[in-house]
A and B are shown apart, each in its own frame.
Chain A
Amino acid sequence: ISFDIQEETHLPPIQQTFLCNQEGESIVRQFLEQYFLIFDSENRQPLLQAYHESALFSMTMSYPYGHRDKNASWLNWYTTDSRNLQKVQDPDRRNKLLKQGQVAVVSFLQEMPRSKHDIHSFTVDLVVFTPLMIVLTVTGMFKELKSGHKVPPTRAFFRTLVIVPAGSGFCISNETLHITNATDEQAKHIFKTVVSAPPPTPVASPVATPAP
Protein backbone atom coordinates (compact mmCIF):
# COMPACT_ATOMS: atom_id res chain seq x y z
CA ILE A 1 0.00 0.00 0.00
CA SER A 2 1.40 3.39 -0.97
CA PHE A 3 0.26 6.98 -0.58
CA ASP A 4 -2.08 8.79 -2.91
CA ILE A 5 0.22 11.78 -3.41
CA GLN A 6 3.00 11.08 -5.84
CA GLU A 7 5.54 13.63 -6.83
CA GLU A 8 5.23 14.34 -10.51
CA THR A 9 8.56 14.14 -12.32
CA HIS A 10 7.21 15.02 -15.73
CA LEU A 11 8.78 17.97 -17.56
CA PRO A 12 6.99 19.63 -20.48
CA PRO A 13 8.47 18.38 -23.79
CA ILE A 14 10.97 20.60 -25.57
CA GLN A 15 9.68 22.76 -28.44
CA GLN A 16 12.14 24.02 -31.04
CA THR A 17 10.42 27.33 -31.70
CA PHE A 18 8.21 29.70 -29.76
CA LEU A 19 6.79 32.79 -31.45
CA CYS A 20 4.81 35.25 -29.32
CA ASN A 21 3.57 36.71 -32.62
CA GLN A 22 3.37 34.78 -35.90
CA GLU A 23 3.95 38.01 -37.85
CA GLY A 24 7.48 38.06 -36.51
CA GLU A 25 8.47 34.78 -38.14
CA SER A 26 9.70 36.04 -41.51
CA ILE A 27 11.54 39.03 -40.00
CA VAL A 28 13.27 36.81 -37.47
CA ARG A 29 14.18 34.15 -40.01
CA GLN A 30 15.60 36.66 -42.50
CA PHE A 31 17.53 38.47 -39.81
CA LEU A 32 19.10 35.29 -38.43
CA GLU A 33 19.97 33.86 -41.85
CA GLN A 34 21.71 37.07 -42.90
CA TYR A 35 23.40 37.48 -39.54
CA PHE A 36 24.92 33.99 -39.36
CA LEU A 37 25.85 33.96 -43.05
CA ILE A 38 28.11 36.95 -42.34
CA PHE A 39 29.16 35.72 -38.89
CA ASP A 40 30.45 32.46 -40.37
CA SER A 41 32.28 34.17 -43.24
CA GLU A 42 35.93 35.23 -43.33
CA ASN A 43 34.99 38.86 -42.67
CA ARG A 44 32.54 39.88 -39.96
CA GLN A 45 32.94 43.63 -40.57
CA PRO A 46 29.67 43.88 -42.59
CA LEU A 47 27.88 43.15 -39.29
CA LEU A 48 28.50 46.83 -38.43
CA GLN A 49 25.22 47.53 -40.23
CA ALA A 50 23.44 45.03 -38.02
CA TYR A 51 24.24 46.99 -34.84
CA HIS A 52 22.85 50.24 -33.45
CA GLU A 53 25.51 52.93 -33.11
CA SER A 54 25.16 52.70 -29.30
CA ALA A 55 24.74 48.92 -29.21
CA LEU A 56 25.74 46.99 -26.09
CA PHE A 57 27.24 43.50 -26.22
CA SER A 58 28.60 41.18 -23.59
CA MET A 59 29.68 37.57 -23.40
CA THR A 60 29.90 34.91 -20.71
CA MET A 61 31.34 31.42 -20.84
CA SER A 62 31.05 28.32 -18.69
CA TYR A 63 31.47 24.57 -18.96
CA PRO A 64 28.31 22.43 -19.04
CA TYR A 65 27.51 20.19 -16.08
CA GLY A 66 29.91 17.30 -15.71
CA HIS A 67 32.10 18.35 -18.61
CA ARG A 68 35.15 19.62 -16.90
CA ASP A 69 37.19 16.57 -17.79
CA LYS A 70 40.13 15.61 -19.94
CA ASN A 71 38.03 15.11 -23.06
CA ALA A 72 36.50 18.58 -23.01
CA SER A 73 37.89 21.26 -25.28
CA TRP A 74 39.00 24.14 -23.15
CA LEU A 75 37.17 27.41 -23.62
CA ASN A 76 40.30 29.43 -22.90
CA TRP A 77 39.78 31.98 -25.67
CA TYR A 78 36.48 33.06 -24.13
CA THR A 79 37.75 33.36 -20.56
CA THR A 80 39.40 36.78 -20.81
CA ASP A 81 36.27 38.62 -21.93
CA SER A 82 33.73 36.61 -19.96
CA ARG A 83 31.59 39.18 -18.14
CA ASN A 84 30.49 36.92 -15.33
CA LEU A 85 29.16 39.24 -12.63
CA GLN A 86 29.49 36.37 -10.14
CA LYS A 87 33.26 36.65 -10.52
CA VAL A 88 33.81 40.19 -11.77
CA GLN A 89 32.88 42.44 -8.83
CA ASP A 90 34.73 45.64 -9.72
CA PRO A 91 32.37 48.21 -11.37
CA ASP A 92 35.13 49.54 -13.65
CA ARG A 93 35.95 46.06 -14.89
CA ARG A 94 32.24 45.32 -15.40
CA ASN A 95 31.96 48.50 -17.43
CA LYS A 96 35.03 47.69 -19.48
CA LEU A 97 33.88 44.16 -20.33
CA LEU A 98 30.63 45.56 -21.74
CA LYS A 99 31.35 46.35 -25.39
CA GLN A 100 29.77 49.73 -26.08
CA GLY A 101 29.04 51.08 -29.56
CA GLN A 102 28.86 49.26 -32.88
CA VAL A 103 32.59 49.58 -33.62
CA ALA A 104 33.62 48.08 -30.29
CA VAL A 105 31.06 45.29 -30.69
CA VAL A 106 32.04 44.29 -34.22
CA SER A 107 35.78 44.58 -33.46
CA PHE A 108 35.22 42.00 -30.75
CA LEU A 109 33.11 39.75 -33.00
CA GLN A 110 35.88 39.97 -35.59
CA GLU A 111 38.40 38.68 -33.03
CA MET A 112 36.27 35.70 -32.03
CA PRO A 113 37.34 32.32 -33.43
CA ARG A 114 36.00 31.43 -36.87
CA SER A 115 32.81 29.39 -36.76
CA LYS A 116 30.37 27.31 -38.71
CA HIS A 117 26.89 27.26 -37.21
CA ASP A 118 24.44 24.39 -37.69
CA ILE A 119 21.24 26.29 -38.44
CA HIS A 120 19.21 23.06 -38.07
CA SER A 121 20.30 22.86 -34.44
CA PHE A 122 18.84 26.29 -33.67
CA THR A 123 15.99 26.93 -31.28
CA VAL A 124 14.29 30.31 -31.53
CA ASP A 125 12.17 32.01 -28.88
CA LEU A 126 10.54 35.26 -29.92
CA VAL A 127 9.38 36.74 -26.61
CA VAL A 128 8.75 40.42 -27.41
CA PHE A 129 7.41 41.71 -30.73
CA THR A 130 6.22 45.32 -30.72
CA PRO A 131 6.74 48.17 -33.24
CA LEU A 132 9.48 49.54 -30.96
CA MET A 133 11.28 46.42 -29.91
CA ILE A 134 11.86 42.76 -30.76
CA VAL A 135 13.46 40.35 -28.29
CA LEU A 136 14.53 36.91 -29.36
CA THR A 137 16.74 34.18 -28.01
CA VAL A 138 18.59 31.77 -30.25
CA THR A 139 20.36 28.65 -29.07
CA GLY A 140 22.26 26.10 -31.10
CA MET A 141 25.61 24.58 -31.94
CA PHE A 142 28.62 25.57 -34.01
CA LYS A 143 31.97 24.15 -34.91
CA GLU A 144 34.88 26.34 -33.88
CA LEU A 145 37.39 26.51 -36.71
CA LYS A 146 41.09 27.40 -36.92
CA SER A 147 41.46 27.99 -33.20
CA GLY A 148 44.40 25.66 -32.58
CA HIS A 149 42.42 22.61 -31.46
CA LYS A 150 43.34 19.29 -33.11
CA VAL A 151 39.67 18.53 -33.73
CA PRO A 152 37.30 21.48 -34.26
CA PRO A 153 35.40 21.74 -30.94
CA THR A 154 31.60 21.63 -30.93
CA ARG A 155 30.30 24.58 -28.96
CA ALA A 156 26.79 25.43 -27.83
CA PHE A 157 25.53 28.99 -27.53
CA PHE A 158 22.62 30.93 -26.06
CA ARG A 159 22.25 34.34 -27.57
CA THR A 160 19.65 37.01 -26.83
CA LEU A 161 19.12 39.94 -29.17
CA VAL A 162 17.14 43.12 -28.60
CA ILE A 163 16.29 44.46 -32.05
CA VAL A 164 14.95 47.91 -32.89
CA PRO A 165 13.69 49.38 -36.18
CA ALA A 166 16.33 51.33 -38.12
CA GLY A 167 15.49 53.02 -41.42
CA SER A 168 13.77 50.44 -43.58
CA GLY A 169 15.27 47.54 -41.63
CA PHE A 170 16.33 46.57 -38.15
CA CYS A 171 19.41 46.67 -35.97
CA ILE A 172 20.58 45.13 -32.70
CA SER A 173 20.55 47.44 -29.68
CA ASN A 174 21.52 44.88 -27.01
CA GLU A 175 23.03 41.42 -27.13
CA THR A 176 24.14 38.88 -24.55
CA LEU A 177 26.01 35.81 -25.72
CA HIS A 178 26.74 32.71 -23.68
CA ILE A 179 29.26 30.18 -24.96
CA THR A 180 29.71 26.68 -23.60
CA ASN A 181 30.68 23.24 -24.85
CA ALA A 182 28.03 21.09 -26.46
CA THR A 183 27.23 18.05 -24.33
CA ASP A 184 28.10 14.64 -25.82
CA GLU A 185 24.39 14.02 -26.46
CA GLN A 186 24.09 17.33 -28.30
CA ALA A 187 27.32 17.01 -30.25
CA LYS A 188 26.19 13.72 -31.81
CA HIS A 189 23.50 15.65 -33.69
CA ILE A 190 25.53 18.49 -35.17
CA PHE A 191 25.17 18.75 -38.97
CA LYS A 192 23.16 15.52 -38.93
CA THR A 193 19.71 16.88 -39.74
CA VAL A 194 18.46 15.45 -42.98
CA VAL A 195 15.50 17.29 -44.46
CA SER A 196 13.43 14.31 -45.57
CA ALA A 197 10.44 16.10 -47.07
CA PRO A 198 10.61 19.36 -49.02
CA PRO A 199 9.77 22.15 -46.58
CA PRO A 200 6.59 24.14 -47.30
CA THR A 201 8.61 27.28 -47.93
CA PRO A 202 12.14 26.89 -49.25
CA VAL A 203 14.66 28.03 -46.71
CA ALA A 204 18.03 29.09 -48.00
CA SER A 205 20.43 27.74 -45.43
CA PRO A 206 23.62 29.76 -45.18
CA VAL A 207 25.30 26.72 -43.69
CA ALA A 208 26.17 23.92 -46.06
CA THR A 209 25.11 20.61 -44.55
CA PRO A 210 27.62 17.89 -45.29
CA ALA A 211 26.24 14.50 -46.23
CA PRO A 212 25.87 12.32 -43.13
Chain B
Amino acid sequence: MTQIVKSKIDQACRVAEEFTKLYYETSDKRRHLMSKLYLDSGLLAWNGNGVNGNERIQKFFIDLPTSDHIINTLDAQPVLDSAVNGQLTFMIQVSGTVRYQDRVPKSFQQNFIITAQGDKWKIVSDCFRLQEPLTNDKS
Protein backbone atom coordinates (compact mmCIF):
# COMPACT_ATOMS: atom_id res chain seq x y z
CA MET B 1 0.00 0.00 0.00
CA THR B 2 1.41 3.36 -0.99
CA GLN B 3 1.38 5.56 2.08
CA ILE B 4 0.22 9.10 1.64
CA VAL B 5 2.92 11.28 3.14
CA LYS B 6 1.62 13.03 6.24
CA SER B 7 3.13 16.31 5.07
CA LYS B 8 0.87 16.19 2.01
CA ILE B 9 -2.17 15.76 4.26
CA ASP B 10 -1.03 18.70 6.40
CA GLN B 11 -0.53 20.77 3.26
CA ALA B 12 -4.02 19.93 1.98
CA CYS B 13 -5.50 21.18 5.25
CA ARG B 14 -3.51 24.42 5.29
CA VAL B 15 -4.24 25.18 1.64
CA ALA B 16 -7.93 24.45 2.23
CA GLU B 17 -8.01 27.00 5.06
CA GLU B 18 -6.40 29.70 2.92
CA PHE B 19 -8.39 28.82 -0.17
CA THR B 20 -11.82 28.87 1.43
CA LYS B 21 -11.13 32.14 3.22
CA LEU B 22 -10.20 33.72 -0.12
CA TYR B 23 -13.01 32.05 -2.06
CA TYR B 24 -15.85 33.22 0.19
CA GLU B 25 -14.41 36.70 0.72
CA THR B 26 -14.13 37.08 -3.04
CA SER B 27 -17.61 35.78 -3.78
CA ASP B 28 -19.16 37.99 -1.06
CA LYS B 29 -17.14 41.18 -1.56
CA ARG B 30 -15.02 41.16 -4.72
CA ARG B 31 -17.07 39.07 -7.07
CA HIS B 32 -15.61 40.55 -10.25
CA LEU B 33 -12.39 38.65 -9.46
CA MET B 34 -13.96 35.17 -9.19
CA SER B 35 -12.75 33.95 -12.58
CA LYS B 36 -9.14 34.20 -11.38
CA LEU B 37 -9.77 31.36 -8.95
CA TYR B 38 -10.69 28.87 -11.69
CA LEU B 39 -8.80 27.05 -14.41
CA ASP B 40 -9.69 28.44 -17.87
CA SER B 41 -11.56 25.16 -18.35
CA GLY B 42 -12.91 25.11 -14.77
CA LEU B 43 -16.41 23.89 -14.06
CA LEU B 44 -19.07 25.17 -11.67
CA ALA B 45 -22.13 23.06 -10.87
CA TRP B 46 -24.39 25.43 -8.94
CA ASN B 47 -27.44 23.63 -7.54
CA GLY B 48 -27.31 21.35 -10.60
CA ASN B 49 -26.79 24.17 -13.11
CA GLY B 50 -23.54 23.52 -14.98
CA VAL B 51 -21.34 26.47 -15.98
CA ASN B 52 -18.28 25.75 -18.15
CA GLY B 53 -15.14 27.88 -18.31
CA ASN B 54 -13.93 30.69 -16.09
CA GLU B 55 -15.43 33.49 -18.20
CA ARG B 56 -18.94 32.03 -18.06
CA ILE B 57 -18.44 31.31 -14.35
CA GLN B 58 -17.54 34.98 -13.86
CA LYS B 59 -20.76 36.08 -15.53
CA PHE B 60 -22.76 33.57 -13.52
CA PHE B 61 -21.45 35.00 -10.24
CA ILE B 62 -22.09 38.58 -11.33
CA ASP B 63 -25.73 37.64 -11.97
CA LEU B 64 -26.25 36.09 -8.53
CA PRO B 65 -27.78 38.20 -5.75
CA THR B 66 -25.29 39.51 -3.21
CA SER B 67 -24.27 36.85 -0.73
CA ASP B 68 -22.93 36.41 2.77
CA HIS B 69 -21.36 33.03 3.56
CA ILE B 70 -20.55 31.59 6.96
CA ILE B 71 -18.50 28.38 7.10
CA ASN B 72 -19.42 25.75 9.68
CA THR B 73 -17.25 22.82 8.65
CA LEU B 74 -14.19 22.40 6.46
CA ASP B 75 -12.49 19.18 5.38
CA ALA B 76 -9.69 18.42 2.90
CA GLN B 77 -7.70 15.53 1.45
CA PRO B 78 -4.95 15.07 -1.14
CA VAL B 79 -6.35 13.26 -4.20
CA LEU B 80 -4.51 9.97 -4.79
CA ASP B 81 -1.71 10.17 -7.37
CA SER B 82 -3.22 7.41 -9.50
CA ALA B 83 -6.23 9.64 -10.22
CA VAL B 84 -4.22 12.70 -11.17
CA ASN B 85 -0.95 11.33 -12.57
CA GLY B 86 1.03 12.81 -9.71
CA GLN B 87 -0.29 16.33 -10.34
CA LEU B 88 -0.72 17.91 -6.89
CA THR B 89 -4.50 18.03 -6.40
CA PHE B 90 -6.66 18.52 -3.30
CA MET B 91 -10.30 17.88 -2.55
CA ILE B 92 -11.98 20.37 -0.21
CA GLN B 93 -15.46 20.10 1.30
CA VAL B 94 -17.33 22.85 3.08
CA SER B 95 -20.67 23.26 4.82
CA GLY B 96 -22.20 26.45 6.11
CA THR B 97 -24.96 28.98 5.72
CA VAL B 98 -25.48 31.55 3.00
CA ARG B 99 -27.76 34.57 3.03
CA TYR B 100 -28.74 36.03 -0.32
CA GLN B 101 -29.57 39.70 0.04
CA ASP B 102 -31.99 39.98 2.92
CA ARG B 103 -33.43 36.51 2.64
CA VAL B 104 -33.49 33.89 5.36
CA PRO B 105 -30.12 32.10 5.54
CA LYS B 106 -29.98 28.66 3.95
CA SER B 107 -27.66 25.77 4.66
CA PHE B 108 -25.29 24.86 1.85
CA GLN B 109 -22.65 22.25 1.13
CA GLN B 110 -19.85 22.60 -1.40
CA ASN B 111 -16.96 20.58 -2.79
CA PHE B 112 -13.89 21.80 -4.66
CA ILE B 113 -11.18 20.02 -6.58
CA ILE B 114 -8.19 22.36 -6.80
CA THR B 115 -4.91 21.76 -8.57
CA ALA B 116 -1.49 23.43 -8.75
CA GLN B 117 -0.95 25.37 -11.97
CA GLY B 118 2.49 26.94 -11.88
CA ASP B 119 2.66 28.72 -8.54
CA LYS B 120 -1.13 29.19 -8.26
CA TRP B 121 -3.96 27.02 -7.00
CA LYS B 122 -6.84 26.81 -9.46
CA ILE B 123 -10.31 25.30 -9.20
CA VAL B 124 -10.91 22.31 -11.49
CA SER B 125 -14.46 21.76 -10.29
CA ASP B 126 -16.76 23.53 -7.87
CA CYS B 127 -19.96 21.77 -6.82
CA PHE B 128 -22.43 23.81 -4.77
CA ARG B 129 -25.77 22.64 -3.35
CA LEU B 130 -28.27 24.48 -1.20
CA GLN B 131 -29.92 22.22 1.35
CA GLU B 132 -33.52 22.39 0.19
CA PRO B 133 -36.29 20.10 -1.10
CA LEU B 134 -36.24 19.09 -4.76
CA THR B 135 -39.85 20.11 -5.24
CA ASN B 136 -41.54 23.32 -4.22
CA ASP B 137 -44.98 21.96 -3.49
CA LYS B 138 -46.21 23.10 -0.11
CA SER B 139 -48.26 19.99 0.65
Q: Which residues of A contact B (CB under 8 A)?
A: 7-18, 20, 52-56, 58-62, 64-66, 82-86, 91, 94-95, 98, 100-101, 121, 123, 125, 127-128, 132-133, 135, 137, 139, 156, 158, 160, 162, 164, 173-174, 176, 178, 180, 183, 185-186, 188-189
On whether the beta carbons of A58 and B75 are closer than 8 Å, the reply is: yes
Interface size on B, residues (CB 8 A): 60
Q: How far is the CB of A80 from chain B (nearest CB, A)?
A: 14
On whether the beta carbons of A174 and B79 are closer than 8 Å, the reply is: yes
On whether the beta carbons of A185 and B48 are closer than 8 Å, the reply is: no
Q: Which residues of B contact A61 (CB under 8 A)?
A: 73
Write the chain A residue with the least CB distance to B72: A62
Given the contacts A127-B113, A137-B127, A174 and B45 also touching, CB distance less than 8 Å: no
Write the chain A residue with the least CB distance to B44: A127
Q: Which residues of A contact B97 (CB under 8 A)?
A: 65
B45: contacting residue among A8, A11, A18, A56, CB under 8 A = A18
B76 interface residue, CB < 8 Å from A?
yes
Q: How far is the CA of A127 from the CA of B13 in the complex (A)?
A: 22
Q: What are 13 A-to-B residue pairs whose CB atoms are below 8 Å?
A: A12-B46, A14-B134, A52-B80, A60-B73, A60-B75, A60-B93, A85-B16, A94-B9, A158-B111, A176-B91, A178-B93, A180-B107, A185-B132
Q: How far is the CA of A160 from the CA of B126 in the complex (A)?
A: 11
On whether the beta carbons of B73 and A86 are closer than 8 Å, the reply is: yes
Q: Which residues of A contact B106 (CB under 8 A)?
A: 65
Write the chain A residue with the least CB distance to B105: A65
B48: contacting residue among A125, A128, A183, CB under 8 A = A125
A-B contacts besides A180-B95, A183-B133, A185-B133, 7 pairs, CB < 8 Å: A9-B100, A86-B74, A94-B9, A158-B109, A174-B83, A174-B91, A189-B133
On whether the beta carbons of A64 and B101 are closer than 8 Å, the reply is: no
On whether the beta carbons of A98 and B83 are closer than 8 Å, the reply is: no
On whether the beta carbons of B65 and A9 are closer than 8 Å, the reply is: yes
Q: How far is the CA of A10 from the CA of B2 in the complex (A)?
A: 48
Write the chain B residue with the least CB distance to A87: B73
Q: Which residues of B contact A (CB under 8 A)?
A: 1-4, 6, 9-10, 13, 16-17, 43, 45-50, 63-66, 71-80, 82-85, 91, 93, 95, 97, 100-101, 103, 105-107, 109, 111, 113, 124-127, 129-135, 139
Closest 5 CB pairs of A and B: A15-B48, A158-B109, A127-B125, A173-B80, A176-B93
A9: contacting residue among B46, B80, B101, B124, CB under 8 A = B101
Q: How far is the CB of B103 from chain A (nearest CB, A)?
A: 7
Q: Which residues of A contact B129 (CB under 8 A)?
A: 123, 125, 137, 139, 158
On whether the beta carbons of B43 and A186 are closer than 8 Å, the reply is: no
Q: How far is the CA of A11 from the CA of B84 in the complex (A)?
A: 34
Write the chain A residue with the least CB distance to B42: A127
Q: How far is the CA of A8 from the CA of B83 in the complex (A)?
A: 41
Q: How far is the CB of A76 from chain B (nearest CB, A)?
A: 16
Q: How far is the CB of A59 from chain B (nearest CB, A)?
A: 8
Write the chain A residue with the least CB distance to B103: A9
Q: How far is the CA of A61 from the CA of B100 in the complex (A)?
A: 23
Q: How far is the CA of A91 from the CA of B14 in the complex (A)?
A: 10
Q: How far is the CB of B122 from chain A (nearest CB, A)?
A: 14
